[in-house]
Amino acid sequence: MEKITLDAELRGVGRHPIRELRDTARVPAVIYGAGVEAKPISVNAKELQKALHQAGSGLLMLQVTGDSPLNVLPREVQRHPVKHNVLHVDFQAVSMTEKLRLHVPIIPVGDAPAMKLNGDLVLVRNLDAVEIECLPADIPNHLVADLTKLQSEDDEVLAGDLAVPNGVKVLTAHDHVIFSLTLSRAGTLEETEEGATTAEPEVVIKGKAAKEGAEEGSEKK
């Protein structure tokens, strides 16, 4: 796996220094973890965005000015609620010989055959990420869910169905549903209307039979 390097600088703390950082297109951050004293740092906003896009939930090489490079994970990324740009990020320094627990995103691949057979079916995502355990060097950017397993409306893709690389253990319950299928609102309404249409003639027939029976009984009297 290609190493992704991100340069960083030590920064001051407080509102004014942080505002000044953002005015110069830098993002405040913190580094902590294995054998590292917690430090406030800053990184270039564009370089950070690029590194996060490439690494996903995986490893980065963080180079703080004047220090040795560190293997880190982006543990908490705060974004603007509207603009979605990064406001702050926590980096955790890790030991390459100790296993970690973290969440990685799930990426769907393929098409669900059941959706081709029934245009009223829609795909439902029940989980965005699963928890895994592995060494830092084995952290995948994502895990793959194969949608071709959805052959019928009742089929599901479970956590146990995910494609998992060597050295990675999925901690999320294997029977946890990742993807499933359901009828769209239009399909549900159509089924309801069909059921109602089918039921109405039965009521009419029963009513007519009852009326005829009552008339026959009246004539006999």
Confidence band, pLDDT 50/70/90 cuts, at residue 132: very high
Residue 58 resides in a domain: yes
Give residues with Cβ within 8 angstroms of 181, minimum separation 6: 112, 114, 115, 121, 122, 123, 124, 150, 153, 154, 155
- Whether 87 and 114 map to the same domain: the answer is no
Determine contact, residues 101/57, Cβ cutoff 8 Å.
Answer: no
Kindly state whether residues 65 and 107 are assigned to the same domain: no
- Tell whether 113 and 173 lie within a shared domain: yes
State the sign of the Cα–Cα–Cα–Cα dihedral 140, 146, 147, 149: negative
Question: 177 and 149 in one domain?
Answer: yes
At which residue do the structure tokens 């001051």 appear?
12
Nearest by Cα to 155 from 128, 184, 124, 130: 124
Range of 73's domain?
Answer: 5-95
- Into how many domains does the chain fold? 2
Q: For the chain, give the percent of residues with pLDDT over 70.
A: 82
Give CA–CA dist 149/22, Å, rounded: 47
> What CATH number did the domain enclosing 32 receive?
2.40.240.10
| CA 158, chain centre distance (Å) | 14
> What is the rounded CA–CA span in Å between residue 120 and residue 199?
23
> How does residue 190 score in pLDDT terms, banded at 50, 70 and 90?
low
pLDDT at 170 over 90: yes
**Residue type at 147?**
L
Asked if 64 and 110 sit in the same domain, the reply is no
**Which pLDDT score is estimated for 193?**
56
Q: Are residues 131 and 173 in the same domain?
A: yes
Residue at 191 is within a domain: no
CB 19 within 8 A of CB 27: no
Q: Is residue 203 part of a domain?
A: no
Amino acid at 172: T
**CATH number of the domain that 105 lies in?**
2.170.120.20
- The answer to whether residue 24 is domain-embedded is yes
On whether residue 212 sits in a domain, the answer given is no
154 and 177 inside one domain: yes
Give the model's confidence band at 219: pLDDT under 50 very low, under 70 low, under 90 confident, else very high: low
| One domain, residues 76 and 127 | no
In a shared domain, residues 63 and 144 = no
Domain assignment present for 200: no
Amino acid at 105: P
Q: What amino acid occupies position 206?
A: K
Same domain membership, residue 65 and residue 117: no
> Which pLDDT score is estimated for 186?
62
Q: Note whether 70 and 116 are same-domain residues.
A: no
In a domain, 76, yes or no: yes
pLDDT digits (tens, 9 = 90+) for 174-185: 999 999 999 987
Q: Is residue 50 part of a domain?
A: yes
Average pLDDT over residues 102-109: 95
My answer on whether 162 and 135 are in the same domain is yes
Sign of the torsion formed by the C-alpha atoms of 87, 76, 70 and 164: negative
pLDDT given for residue 1 in this prediction: 53
Q: Which of 95, 125, 154 is the C-terminal boundary of a domain?
A: 95
pLDDT in tens, 69-96: 999 999 899 998 998 889 999 999 999 9
pTM of the model: 0.72
